[in-house]
Structure 1
Amino acid sequence: MRSVTNRRDDVDVAAVRRAVRSIAESPRYDDWLLEMPDHVLHAVAAPLEMLVFQYYLTPPKDRMLVRAARVVWDSVADSLEDCPADMATAYASLGTALSPRAEK
């Protein structure tokens, strides 16, 4: 299992928030839950609930959103090929958003 970090300053939080929005507000969100294979659902259900909660939390807590996003990504990254194509694309954008920013 990969190590999860609490740091948020090594990623673009706005990009993470956009990627999370594409998942949480997708018109296919409920369909994805029904269509994803059982092994993916078992791995991602609880982390996904945490992620969506953090996304809608007011006021936003960027550090917790990034941490929740990393947990979801770690849960689903190795199973994207088993998922519906549009879901895999949305989750892959989350992985991209979590990539460390280039050094300035």
Structure 2
Amino acid sequence: MARHLPHRRKKRQPRRRSTPRGLVFPPGRSIHERPDYVKTRETFGEWEGDLMIFERAQSKTNVASLVERKTRFAVLFRNNDRSTTHLMNRLMDVMEPLPSQPAIGIYP
């Protein structure tokens, strides 16, 4: 009977993996581990970043976002390469012209 089955196997095999691949990137520090003074949003200069990576079939382009927690000032920039070195250089170029302290009129 096995000779009538595909590939002469005695049992059909699933086409997908039976075990999950797991995380592609190792888990970083959790947002819940940040210090208490960051949670209160009283000091300027605490930034949160996120990286949106799209399918490789579309292109190598990805978009990074940075949000300052006190003023909610947001910075979005496009990155044309997936390499870490290129992303970090682009991030430094974007952050360099920003002031280290907010202007007086920005406080809500």
TM-score of the two chains, using structure 1 as the length reference: 0.27
More strand by share: 2
- Structure-2-length-normalised TM-score: 0.27
For the pair shown, the structure with the greater C-alpha radius of gyration is: 2
Higher relative contact order (CA 8 A, sep 6+): 1
